[in-house]
Structure 1
């Protein structure tokens, strides 16, 4: 009997849940090859079949089918694609620069990022076509350095949307970002709300989407292939923001499992609100972790919400961790999404201002989103990673100019 991948088992808990690939499709082949090279001999053939079912470009081209139902990318992940095939991208950067009247580093960088998104979208467009626009989207993100610049984000969002019908635009969870999401939605453009962690952000996103849909319908915009997802950056909420520091100052301590349950409580609250209000946006779970110690393993970031119809976007490293621990992971319970965290735990967590901001419906006002600990830390990290991508382009241009001068 064919062994199922752990993510295939998760997908079986709800036929409407979706497993996505969290990186460019362009790097999947190289990553797959490296993972199989390190696989236990007894599992290599099994893993190869599983990874082929998740994504095989030839199968996609021929049948329009793949195990992943979508893809998320961002400018930092673009660097992985460039580093995966530096010779190709050095040549492409040179071509892009040659076509520009004033090839500044920033202009070339953005054009190259658009190219990475475009090529990725083309690679899985057959999935989008076969599903009638339900699946097969590639999320392309506006520059993380401009999270409060409405005009810049809107301009870049429209550029991304023009790359192909299966490009979904990723916009950050700032006040200005939600204004952009409303505007893009009003034009029938699919969106992915990223850099988002809290119930107030998710409510702001749903409200922005609803306003945009009202405007689109009033203007007669075709919404037949429109989609919206709202990202919960789970482990980042509990581990890179202010939760632990604020807990320590109040004499409180939480285990890693309790922190994860708190993160999932935030996600479940937003998920249930959306369901209760029949909102068309889907919640998207990312930033998951695997705990593997003492002979047993778990990943509460997916196990605690099994049975939902959410999107799970999984980066290469996380998938590898799941596969390495597959024999020690418990079976998924399709009713997990309906279970709440212990009331006592939520009560203790709510003694922390940071958690109240994330969990309470009125925990923050939109103008506060960018100063929330997890948002500020993630935006800083993503901006730094984007600068590394820009520097990759800069070095290629420097080498090109040096060669021309020689």
Structure 2
């Protein structure tokens, strides 16, 4: 949530030229010296900013633009110069922590995955699944942010004072508005923090990445018109909040029947969409046909961890030994079948986005073959750190069959059978989706979290 850091690093990490890079570095040091002179109590904060930018220069943030403008040795020298600057003003401890982070980034398996993707040797990218703490992820190659009502609640928990400041700000700016409108504006305010940090990536990738996902009100899950209106409301709100004509936003709709028409209409209006609350091949195929007709890339979420959790719960109730280990192959089977069917149907501008990551195995399951559609992973800092500590091979297994010994047990699970079936097989219908355990688990959380945000304005 360090907006000061974002403001100071973006001109350095995303300069217009090598000369501009050098100029921005000197400007930063001059500004920090002046700030420390005017506000000695803030000295540690300002020096930490110098250290953070030094670390950013040695991270994946430099790969978007800087490495094409400035020699690697000059980037390293600039980083070392900022670390020396911090040390000269007495911030040796902060500089040492920065050097430690530089080493951690260099050995990060997640960063290595991004390196391979840039080299054309891998076909999987990833994003940050939280409303704060983005810098750690950007340094390891994250290229977007996802949000949902639960993430806004976690932001409230992490930053209670700032959350209250936002409530007061929203009430001033939206005097006379309903609590529902003001709750929607809380998403605008919180998501805009990430959107500002990501906007240079949005520009550097010709608007393909560098976006923040905003999820429509789950209480309107059966209301097509309400979904459309909220997307339009948020688009205009983000334009105003960010001060741009085209905000870097992707809108998350639930993969339910009412969203079929909402997705069609919104795509005609050129909005970028991501289908969430998605656990099954049936949902993927139903929405793939629609999203593939859009002019922009669309995304089909697979909330694999929640699917595996519910399969495990069902198998445990049946007395199956090692139910949790076997259940790990549930989402694995679903993503491989979906990926194959989407490729066979020739759908374009479409990627699966895996979510609810439980461990390195879910990341491994998401590695896409080079030459096919990319797969996106969205996850949190803890899971990235776990993957960095316990990396798996980067080879794609997407075309490999599930071992029969696991598949035999998985087929005893009603949750799994509904997840793996196609629309023609008819095991999962729009009506029984609302009773489907993985769907119910997340939907219930989303509704409660959104309602709490609205209650904050009553």
TM tier, shorter chain?
A: 0.7 to 0.9
- The Cα offsets for residues 44-90 of structure 1, whole Å up to 9 and x where unpaired, read as xxxxxxx5623xxxxxxxxxxxx212111112212333444443442
1:283 alignment counterpart: 352
Aligned length: 335
Instruction: For residue 180 of structure 2, give the secondary structure of its aligned residue in structure 1.
Output: helix
1:41 alignment counterpart: none
2:341 alignment counterpart: 273
Match of 1:372 among 416, 436, 444: 436
Instruction: For residue 123 of structure 1, give the secondary structure of its aligned residue in structure 2.
Output: helix
Report the CA distance between 1:250 and its aligned residue: 5.3
Match of 1:259 among 327, 330, 335: 327
Preserved CA contact (<8 Å) 1:27 1:81: no
Corresponding position: 1:99 with 2:169: no
* Mean Cα deviation higher: 75-84 or 189-198: 75-84
Residue correspondence of structure 1 range 3-402 to structure 2 within 5 A: 3-11=106-114, 12=116, 14-24=121-131, 26-28=132-134, 53-54=139-140, 67-162=141-236, 163=238, 164-210=246-292, 213=294, 223=295, 226-239=296-309, 241=310, 243-244=311-312, 246-247=314-315, 252-279=320-347, 280-290=349-359, 299-308=360-369, 309-323=374-388, 326=389, 329-361=390-422, 362=425, 363-394=427-458
Which has the bigger relative contact order, CA under 8 A and spacing at least 6?
A: 1
Q: Which has the larger radius of gyration?
A: 2
Distance 2:129 2:312 in 1: 27
Instruction: For residue 139 of structure 1, give the secondary structure of its aligned residue in structure 2.
Output: strand
- CA separation of 1:100 and 1:376: change in aligned 2, threshold 3 A: same
- CA separation of 1:52 and 1:358: change in aligned 2, threshold 3 A: closer
TM norm structure 1: 0.75
Distance 2:231 2:220 in 1: 12
Preserved CA contact (<8 Å) 1:10 1:332: no
Instruction: For residue 389 of structure 1, give the secondary structure of its aligned residue in structure 2.
Output: helix
* Mean Cα deviation higher: 98-107 or 257-266: 98-107
Preserved CA contact (<8 Å) 2:179 2:457: yes
Distance 2:190 2:258 in 1: 26
Unmatched runs of 5 consecutive residues or more in structure 1:
33-50, 55-66, 214-222, 291-298, 395-406
TM norm structure 2: 0.67
Preserved CA contact (<8 Å) 1:179 1:208: no
Distance 2:107 2:430 in 1: 43
Instruction: For residue 289 of structure 1, give the secondary structure of its aligned residue in structure 2.
Output: coil
Distance 2:134 2:223 in 1: 33
- CA separation of 1:333 and 1:128: change in aligned 2, threshold 3 A: closer
- The Cα offsets for residues 359-406 of structure 1, whole Å up to 9 and x where unpaired, read as 011332233322211111110012122233334445xxxxxxxxxxxx
Distance 1:305 1:83 in 2: 31
Report the CA distance between 1:235 and its aligned residue: 1.1
Preserved CA contact (<8 Å) 1:20 1:68: yes
Instruction: For residue 378 of structure 2, give the secondary structure of its aligned residue in structure 1.
Output: strand
- The Cα offsets for residues 157-212 of structure 1, whole Å up to 9 and x where unpaired, read as 222333243100001111112332222112211111111000001011112224x5
Give the root-mean-square deviation of aligned CA atoms.
2.5
- CA separation of 1:52 and 1:347: change in aligned 2, threshold 3 A: closer
Instruction: For residue 106 of structure 2, give the secondary structure of its aligned residue in structure 1.
Output: coil
Instruction: For residue 318 of structure 1, give the secondary structure of its aligned residue in structure 2.
Output: helix
